[in-house]
Amino acid sequence: MVDSSPFKSVQSSQVILKELMVPSYANFGGKVHGGVLLSLMDKIAYTCAATHAKAYCVTASVDSVDFVNPVEVGELVTLFASVNYVGKSSMEVGIKVISEDFKKDVVKHTNTSYFTMVAVDEETKKPVPVPGLLLETDQELRRFVMGKLRKQLRTAHRKEITQLRKTLDKTRELQEIEGENCRLQEAT
């Protein structure tokens, strides 16, 4: 059952998640796997979106995730999530990740990313409407406007890729990959 209140504050669904980076999270190089952080980001995005929508949500898309600093075992990772933008059934959740090294007293920005979550009916799996967003600060207003712009860009990008795929042509593809790091070898 979807919450019927028309508008909800950003604050009411904000989430903070802290997790200690244990040795089992490490890759062969001793750093934390990027996938561990992605999984935590997906978890907090769901919690934030479902709290806003009071409904079951799915991850529709994840914007590019650029890890600007590696995370070490023993560090404390903190994720901050907030609903930036709300459409009819979709919500853009902004996630900021930082990691803290207690011994060196250093806090690093790990990454910021945007997850699009869609509220769906649990049985039909069809999108359902979500409450609007009550914008109470200049920052919330700015984030909403930016979220709307990103939604438009994502939609345009998806359309462009679909169109490009339809118009692929072997002769042109061969020209396109000239000078690229690949070699053509016919299957035997």
Ligand X SMILES: CC(C)(COP(=O)(O)OP(=O)(O)OC[C@H]1O[C@@H](n2cnc3c(N)ncnc32)[C@H](O)[C@@H]1OP(=O)(O)O)[C@@H](O)C(=O)NCCC(=O)NCCS
* Interacting residue ranges for ligand X, rule: CB under 6 A: 58-61, 87-90, 116, 118, 120, 125, 127, 154
60 or 76: whose CB is closer to ligand X?
Answer: 60
CB of 86 to ligand X, least distance (A): 7
CB of 116 to ligand X, least distance (A): 4
12 or 155: whose CB is closer to ligand X?
Answer: 155
71 or 128: whose CB is closer to ligand X?
Answer: 128
CB of 172 to ligand X, least distance (A): 27
25 or 85: whose CB is closer to ligand X?
Answer: 85
Q: Which residue is nearest to ligand X (CB)?
A: 87
CB of 32 to ligand X, least distance (A): 22
Could you identify the residue written with the tokens 């853009």? 92
Q: Both tokens of residue 99?
A: 């990691």
